Amino acid sequence: MGFQCGIVGLPNVGKSTLFNALTKTAAAQAANYPFCTIEPNTGEVGVPDPRLSAIAKVAGSKEIIPTRITFVDIAGLVRGASKGEGLGNQFLANIREVDAIAHVLRCFVDDDITHVEGTIDPIADAETVETELMIADMESLERRLPPLKKKATGGDKDAKAVIPIMEAALAVLQEGKPVRVLKLDDAEERKILTGLNLLTSKPVLYVCNVEEASADKGNALSDKVKAKAEAEGAVAVVISAAIEAEISQLPRDEQAEFLETIGLEEPGLDRLIRAGYELLGLITYFTAGPKETRAWTITSGTKAPGAAGVIHSDFERGFIRAQTIAYDDYVTLGGETAAKEAGKARDEGKEYVVKDGDVLLFKFNT
């Protein structure tokens, strides 16, 4: 199950520097001029989770395999992108493919790095990008509605179901709001909305790129972004892309010492990756044994057979039951055998909703 988080923003806000640090490569060319990233670069990143090593220690595992999330570095957007300005059409096409958006905002002042708008204002930058996405969504809906209404007049049931959702989304956009604020209670309606693949329906994480001195607590500019995120029910993460780029080049054993000297407990990228993971509504379950301890990604609310299917489709088709041990019980008691003896290993059936941190062993028919 692949989950993609697109890194977006105006040119020269630090997107490619951040992507390079995330993936610990120089795959994306970071340079001080607009559109240095033309083709979207992708990189898979392990989701930091200290529970993995704790489980592996108890299980005596030879290998640890984290769950992963894919970050996509997308070409910088400029005002007028919805009309094809800059690399707008390509930007919009690439962003449609991701599950969520990490919106990088420049929250630092540096006269040596040009700003495409000529002034440092992260709120205005966010609004520029959001406006372009909303315009693109409005044009998409306005183009798609007329032929759909014709089909509905002819008795097409699918068209009749989709039209009210499209009209509700269009009404929200015409009020100057992104589609993600549209609240739908019905599961089928939410499924229809997702199928429309609208740019502003995707969840957004604001990434405040600050200077080194503000990497621990942020600054006045990032405070404004945090306030905006809070008002929207969104999340904002403070990070210094330049520092993260330095950290990513250090050996693992030297990273902690470097972080301590600048007042950080962990790399900002760890917080960013976790925030992106949570933004997508994902949770982790584990499998453990002498060979490996492994983390698996599922959507919150997934039932046991669906979780088994992430490992292999045969596991889902032939699902019988899942032996389930909560993470705390597994680690505290000392593994599977001890958990069984203490009555903490449960056999769950097809209706069991997997919880974050469950250590699972699936029984299935071949």
Binding site for ATP, by residue number, is: 12-17
Q: How many CA atoms lie within 13 A of 214 on its CB side?
A: 19
Quickly tell me which residue has 């994902």 as its tokens.
282
3-state secondary structure of 309: helix
Smallest CA-to-CA distance from 44 within 4, 14, 82 is with: 4
Element containing residue 268 per DSSP (H, E): helix 268-279
Which phi-psi region, left, alpha or beta, contains residue 335 (left: φ > 0; alpha: ψ -120 to 50)? left
How far, in Å, CA of 268 to CA of 22, rounded?
Answer: 10
Query: Phi then psi for 333, rounded to 5 degrees?
Result: -80, -25
Element containing residue 1 per DSSP (H, E): none
Q: CB of 361 within 8 A of CB of 308?
A: no
Smallest CA-to-CA distance from 307 within 290, 325, 319 is with: 319
| Sign of the dihedral through C-alpha 75, 297, 328, 57 | negative
Binding positions are 12-17
Smallest CA-to-CA distance from 298 within 11, 12, 87, 3 is with: 3
CA distances from 269 to 15, 20, 169, 272 (A): 13, 11, 34, 5
How far, in Å, CA of 298 to CA of 102, rounded?
Answer: 20
User: Could you please report the per-residue DSSP string of 78-106?
Assistant: -TTGGGT-TTHHHHHHHHTT-SEEEEEEE
* Cβ-based neighbours of 338, under 8 Å, separated by 6 or more: none
